[in-house]
């Protein structure tokens, strides 16, 4: 583990600039450090064994972070690295104050990415790239955000120069670290691109009756009708996986149900990957031991027909994966299971149900509102990375220009071609996984 000392002595410049950058959602109200001239020591962890030693302090830091999520926990990120970290370099930055207390953590990785015949060295957050992680972030103890961000960027500039582009993807809209990074980038003149990505979240009330009032009369009627109809046709059993002894069986059911649905549509399915299955086995065991696993199943006549797989952190449940038997699609088994699960979650004190990235009618019907993730990409000035960001940004601008001027039919044709090409690339990527 290597260390360096960085600090910032101009913390008083942050507040007015951040108010202009944050703009909405009350994000401008950030806690500024009361020790703005205190230097931080930065230690670099580059192997899993060092992260094992860091685990107790990591957990304490999570407890102090008001917007920490399951995707920033040791139990999520370390198994993820073991499954998907091959061929990548681990760069976890641990920030310590003068009392040697952990006040910040930037879990990063370095990957090589080839674009247009050029290989770029890309720094990104651990958990990014496999399609499994949302709500990624740089952790910071309240009051140290300014110093952590300054030390992070100074480390990239002066200590670790073997990178071209840094991509901080899927940061929550309320991420203090994200807003601080944007401020420092703009203040220093570093090239950067900010892109919003929609996500869907349901704010849950204190009772099932109040929640039903949030839904349309159509949805309320469907919940009651479909549940009663299923109970008349089958022997119904809802249950939550709570024992390690049953976890492997439940996971196998999830994998089979998920794969069966997608393979019928001609897709390989995400659980064709052995690495992903191994990852789910390991992280599920760890999170079940911490009573953070939310894994619900529905059986009809003794046969599993639907599964919802997610996690609870504080008062939020994150919906990660689901699967259902297409043979029972007319019975809406996935819909019935979600209604049952939400009723149990509300009774158990859950106040947010996070559908994660994307919006769709299948989410809004449950009362989901649209929020935003931040994707922040940046590079140092006058580098290959800055040229890459410039080109990508102008490609995006050109796309929007074409969309506003082409006839709708012509744009639709281009869109279908692009979707087809992306699908082919995704299938090739899945096929290449072990």
pLDDT tens per residue, range 140-150: 999 999 999 99
Domain 2-196+373-381 has CATH 3.40.630.30: yes
Enumerate residues 6+ apart whose C-beta is below 8 A from 169.
Answer: 124, 125, 128, 136, 373, 375, 376
Domain 205-350 architecture: 3-Layer(aba) Sandwich (3.40)
53 pLDDT band, cuts 50/70/90, is very high
pLDDT at res. 396 = 58
Q: Take residue 279 and report the two structure tokens written for it.
A: 């990852």
Q: What is the CA radius of gyration of the chain?
A: 23
The model's confidence at residue 99, banded by pLDDT at 50, 70 and 90, is: very high
Q: For position 417, what pLDDT does the model report?
A: 62
pLDDT in the model for residue 420: 63
The per-residue pLDDT for 161 is 80
Q: Are 107 and 79 in contact (CB under 8 A)?
A: no
Are 2-196+373-381 and 205-350 the same fold in CATH? yes
**CA 428 – CA 310 distance, rounded (Å):** 27
- Given pLDDT bands bounded at 50, 70 and 90, which one contains residue 391? confident
Is the predicted pLDDT of residue 39 greater than 90, yes or no?
A: no
What is the chain's length?
434
Where residue 392 falls among pLDDT bands split at 50, 70, 90? confident
Positive or negative torsion for Cα 130, 136, 140, 144: positive
The residues spanned by each domain of the chain are: 2-196+373-381, 205-350
What distance in Å separates the CA atoms of residue 274 and residue 81, rounded to the nearest whole number? Answer: 14
Q: pTM value?
A: 0.83
Average pLDDT value over all residues in the chain: 87
Q: Is the pLDDT of residue 7 over 60?
A: no
Q: Dig out the tokens for 167 from the structure.
A: 């991509």
Average pLDDT over residues 364-374: 97
- In this structure, of 62-71, 202-211, 263-272, 388-397, the range with the lowest mean pLDDT score is 388-397
Mean pLDDT of 94-110: 97
Output the pLDDT for position 20.
Answer: 32
Give per-residue pLDDT as tens, 17-29.
223 333 333 322 2
Q: For the residues 162-189, what does the mean pLDDT come to?
A: 95
Contact between 250 and 238 under an 8 Å Cβ cutoff? The reply is no
- Calpha distance 215→211 (Å, rounded): 7
Question: In percent, how much of the chain has pLDDT > 90?
Answer: 75
């Amino acid at each position: 583990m290597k260390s360096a000392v960085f600090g910032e002595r101009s913390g008083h410049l942050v507040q007015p600039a951040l108010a202009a950058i944050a703009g909405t959602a009350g994000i401008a109200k950030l806690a500024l450090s009361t020790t703005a001239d205190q230097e931080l020591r930065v230690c670099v962890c580059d192997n899993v064994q060092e992260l094992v030693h860091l685990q107790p302090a990591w957990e304490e830091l999570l407890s102090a972070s008001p917007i920490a999520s399951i995707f920033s926990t040791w139990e999520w990120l370390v198994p993820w690295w073991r499954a998907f970290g091959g061929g990548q370099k681990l760069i976890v930055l641990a920030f310590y104050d003068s009392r040697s207390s952990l006040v910040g953590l930037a879990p990063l990785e370095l990957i090589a990415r080839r674009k247009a015949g050029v290989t770029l060295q890309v720094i990104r957050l651990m958990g990014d790239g496999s399609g499994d992680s949302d709500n990624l972030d740089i952790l910071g103890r309240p009051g140290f955000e300014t110093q952590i961000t300054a030390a992070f960027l100074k480390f990239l500039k002066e200590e670790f120069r073997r990178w071209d582009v840094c991509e901080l993807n899927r940061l929550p809209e309320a991420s203090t670290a994200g807003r601080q990074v944007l401020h420092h980038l703009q203040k220093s003149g570093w090239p950067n691109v900010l892109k919003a990505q929609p996500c869907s979240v349901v704010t849950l009330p204190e009772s099932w009756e109040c929640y039903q009032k949030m839904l349309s009369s159509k949805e309320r009627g469907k919940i009651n009708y479909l549940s009663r109809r299923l109970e008349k046709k089958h022997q119904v059993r809802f249950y939550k996986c709570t024992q390690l002894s049953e976890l492997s069986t439940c996971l196998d059911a999830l994998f089979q149900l998920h794969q069966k649905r997608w393979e019928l549509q001609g897709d390989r399915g995400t659980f064709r990957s052995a690495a992903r299955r191994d990852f789910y086995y390991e992280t599920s065991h760890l999170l079940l031991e911490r009573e953070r696993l939310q894994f619900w199943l529905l059986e009809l006549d003794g046969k599993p027909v639907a599964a919802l797989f997610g996690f609870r952190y504080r008062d939020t449940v994150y919906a990660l994966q689901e699967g259902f038997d297409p043979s029972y699609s007319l019975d809406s088994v996935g819909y019935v299971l979600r209604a049952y699960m939400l009723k149990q979650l509300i009774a158990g004190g859950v106040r947010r149900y996070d559908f994660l990235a994307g919006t769709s009618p299948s989410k809004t019907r449950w009362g989901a509102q649209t929020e935003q993730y931040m994707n922040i990409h940046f590079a140092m000035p006058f580098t290959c990375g800055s040229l890459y960001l410039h080109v990508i940004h102008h490609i995006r601008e050109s796309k929007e220009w074409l969309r506003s001027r082409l006839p709708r039919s012509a744009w639709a044709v281009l869109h279908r071609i692009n979707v087809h090409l992306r699908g082919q690339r995704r299938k090739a990527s899945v096929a290449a996984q072990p």
